[in-house]
Each structure stands twice: as C-alpha cells, then as structure tokens.
C-alpha cells in the first residue's frame, strides 16, 4: 500500500467514525459507510454470531447485493433486498440522517420517508453481484483503526463485535 492510499484511508476512517446522528445498533450492523458510490457495510447474522454479511446498494442504479464475507450469496435474496440490506439502510439513516443518505443514493425521498426501510422501498432496485472482499477489508481496517489508540494486541480475526471493545 502506498502512502497516498494510507492517507486516503485515514481520511475516510476519520469520516467514518464521526458520531452518528442517532444511536446506532453496533452489534447488529458493526460497519456502515457511504463510499465508492455505494451504501455498504457489514451486518451480523441473526442466528450465527460468527457469521457476517456484506451488503451494498449502489447509488443511481440501485443495484444491490448481499453475501457472506466469503462471497457465498445470501439466502435471503429472493428477487428483493434481504433483511440485511434493510438493516443496513436503517443504520445508514441513523448514522447519517435520512436526507444525506437519500442524496448520496439519488433517491427521491418524500416527506413520509423516515427510516432506511422506507428509503429502500422507494428505490427501483435490482440484483447485481459485487465482491464482498473490498468492503470486508475496509471493515477490518476500520476496526483496526478504532483499536489502535489503546490496544497493542493484534485484532483476533473473528472478534469484531463491539463486545470485544472495538467500539467504546
Ligand atoms: Zn442478506
């Protein structure tokens, strides 16, 4: 990684850790960002604590995808965004506020749109597989960044949940 990449990452990370507009459910959605032309993030599995999903919706054409971090397609995608995408959209609205998210994704949000689910329902979405690896590595870098100030131990690969102290 070049110094320029490193600097760019650091800038993005600083943006990513600004306090949310409203309290977020970090255990459910440990990572959400508006970056690379997408709303993207990491959503915990409802049933398996060691499994996470990488979900994203592209700005403009509203192509969405959801898979495990190993690129296994989410079983909840049945011609419509799954519950992980809904959770991601809800958290994005908590993090950034409804108008900034709508502007970024280029959604025409009416006054009755309050949460991320409403926003998702206003989009003409379509499914388009995208690789999970980029988003997932950004998530791991994000965690490492949060860990750095008061931790000298390496981040155990699976211990990304807030209970480990990644988010205080
Ligand atoms: Zn899913």
Inter-residue long-range contacts of 77-80, CB under 8 Å, 24+ positions, other chains counted: 77/127, 79/127, 80/125
In the numeric block, which tokens belong to residue 163? Answer: 């209970």
**Residues flanking ion ligand 1, Cβ below 5 Å:** 53, 66, 74, 76, 82, 84
The predicted structure's pLDDT at residue 100: 94
User: Which pairing describes strands 126-127 and 38-44: parallel, antiparallel, or unpaired?
Assistant: unpaired
In the numeric block, which tokens belong to residue 105? Answer: 């994704």
Task: Calculate how far, in angstroms, residue 28's C-alpha sits from the geometric centre of ligand 1.
Answer: 13
Task: Calculate how far, in angstroms, residue 107's C-alpha sits from the geometric centre of ligand 1.
Answer: 21
Task: Calculate how far, in angstroms, residue 53's C-alpha sits from the geometric centre of ligand 1.
Answer: 6
Task: Calculate how far, in angstroms, residue 112's C-alpha sits from the geometric centre of ligand 1.
Answer: 26
Task: Calculate how far, in angstroms, residue 139's C-alpha sits from the geometric centre of ligand 1.
Answer: 17
The predicted structure's pLDDT at residue 10: 54
The predicted structure's pLDDT at residue 64: 97
Task: Calculate how far, in angstroms, residue 21's C-alpha sits from the geometric centre of ligand 1.
Answer: 25
Ranges of the chain with pLDDT below 50: 13-16, 151-168
Summarize pLDDT for 74-106 with one digit per residue, the tens: 999 988 999 999 999 999 999 999 999 999 999
Task: Calculate how far, in angstroms, residue 62's C-alpha sits from the geometric centre of ligand 1.
Answer: 16
CA–CA separation, 120 and 101 (whole Å): 11
Task: Calculate how far, in angstroms, residue 80's C-alpha sits from the geometric centre of ligand 1.
Answer: 10
């Amino acid at each position: 990684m070049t110094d320029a990449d490193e600097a760019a990452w650091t800038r993005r990370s600083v943006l990513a850790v600004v306090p949310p507009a409203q309290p977020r459910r970090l255990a459910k959605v440990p990572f959400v960002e508006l970056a690379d032309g997408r709303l993207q993030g990491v959503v915990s599995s409802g049933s398996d604590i060691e499994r996470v999903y990488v979900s994203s919706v592209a700005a403009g054409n509203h192509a969405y995808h959801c898979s495990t971090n190993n690129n296994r397609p989410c079983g909840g995608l049945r011609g419509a965004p799954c519950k992980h995408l809904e959770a991601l959209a809800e958290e994005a609205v908590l993090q950034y506020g409804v108008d900034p998210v709508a502007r970024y994704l280029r959604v025409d949000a009416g006054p009755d749109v309050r949460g991320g689910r409403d926003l998702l329902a206003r989009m003409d979405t379509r499914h388009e597989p995208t690789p999970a690896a980029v988003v997932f590595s950004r998530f791991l870098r994000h965690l490492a960044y949060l860990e750095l100030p008061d931790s000298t131990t390496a981040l155990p690969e699976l211990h990304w949940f807030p209970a480990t102290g990644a988010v205080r």
